[in-house]
Structure 1
Amino acid sequence: MNLSNKLGRIDWQVYACAPYAHGVGVAKYLARYMRGGAINNKQLIAVKNNMITFKYKSHQTKKTERQQVSLPNFTRMVLKHLPLKGKPTIRYYGIYHPTVVEKLNVARAQCKQAQFITAQLPTWQAMLNKLGIRLICPICGVTERIAAAPLK
């Protein structure tokens, strides 16, 4: 039996979250999501030696966890969450979630559709290079390799 037939025989029930008793909860959720952005100042714990420590709520463990990353990686992580100009922000669920592309491609193959290929975003260095912009250190004349200096 192919995957399409197998999936078609299942009584599906999609669950996103518990229903709200009133619109106030929905409004609060949307306000936090739309206004809050990828991270807020309360989540930042420390900036030291070009490393940023922050806390976040894990959707897997449902607990607050800490993570420490380099400044360039932190910047990259935050920039990934910014919507493109003029494009709506969409959250993905199920086989359309970015972490389960392999399962999506199995389903697409069963439906004789082409594989979904995740776009590889260029680094900031590649974008500057493409635009013909070089960041040169005013002191030593060497091309800069990072876009920001550590906070003092």
Structure 2
Amino acid sequence: MNQFVWENHYLLGNEKVDQQHKELFRLANRLLASKDIHALTENIMLLYHHVREHFQAEEVFMKQNGYPEYQHHVQTHNLMLEKLVEFSNDINQQQQLEALDVPGFMHDWIAHIVAEDAAINAYFASQQEQKSGKSLY
């Protein structure tokens, strides 16, 4: 059973970003299903790489399009990446999954999606509506 369930109110309206966010949920559930230290190590690395690639794409978009909250948004990304590095370090020190705060991380991520990522979408949607009525993000 999956602990983290995607809900449609997390949708931002950008297919690529929404798919990346859904993949995060899948990878977090995969991490929770890890049965041994090898699986934990593999799954935390998959999650880290996915998150890093997603953040890079999002940051390029924000920077190229002059998002006014770019610096703050990047700071929140960096904090989440640091948390994943901490998880990896804990796993390397033979910590068990129960010792990792994956639920807390996912709670922070969901809050990030519904507040910060939605703010990007809202900003660019309003910018586009002024120009052509189409959202970029």
- Which TM-score tier does this pair reach, normalised by the shorter chain? under 0.3
Q: Which has the higher strand share?
A: 1
| TM-score for both structures, normalised by structure 2 | 0.26
Q: Max radius of gyration: which structure?
A: 1
